[in-house]
A and B are shown apart, each in its own frame.
Chain A
Amino acid sequence: MRSPNDVGEYVVYITVPPEVQKKECVYCACDDCQAVPSSGEENDYPSEDDIENYQSEKGYIVSRLCTCPEDVEDARKVISILNVAITQYIERGKPLDKLRDFIYGAESHILSRTEYAHPDTLLEESPATFWDRFMRGF
Chain B
Amino acid sequence: MAATQNPQNNGKQVQPADLAVRKSDPNQLSNGKSAPLEKAPGADLSKLKTHNGFPVLTMAAFQALYSCQSHPGEVQTFDFRGYVEDETGKLMYMDVLATNGLRGGIHVGIDGTTSYDDISSK
Q: Which A residues are closer than 8 A to B by beta carbons?
A: 1-17, 19-20, 23, 62, 64-65, 69, 76, 79-88, 90-91, 93, 122-123, 127-128, 130-132
Contact = CB atoms under 8 A, between A and B. Distances in A.
A130 B31 contact: yes
Given A6-B93, A83-B108, A123 B32 contact: yes
Interface of B: 8-9, 24, 26, 29-34, 52, 54, 75, 77, 79, 81, 90-93, 95, 97, 99, 102-115, 119, 122
Nearest to B103: A90
B121 to A, nearest CB: 12
Given A13-B122, A19-B104, A122-B32, A91 B75 contact: yes
Contact of A14 (B52, B54, B90, B106): B106
A131 to B, nearest CB: 6
B110 A17 contact: no
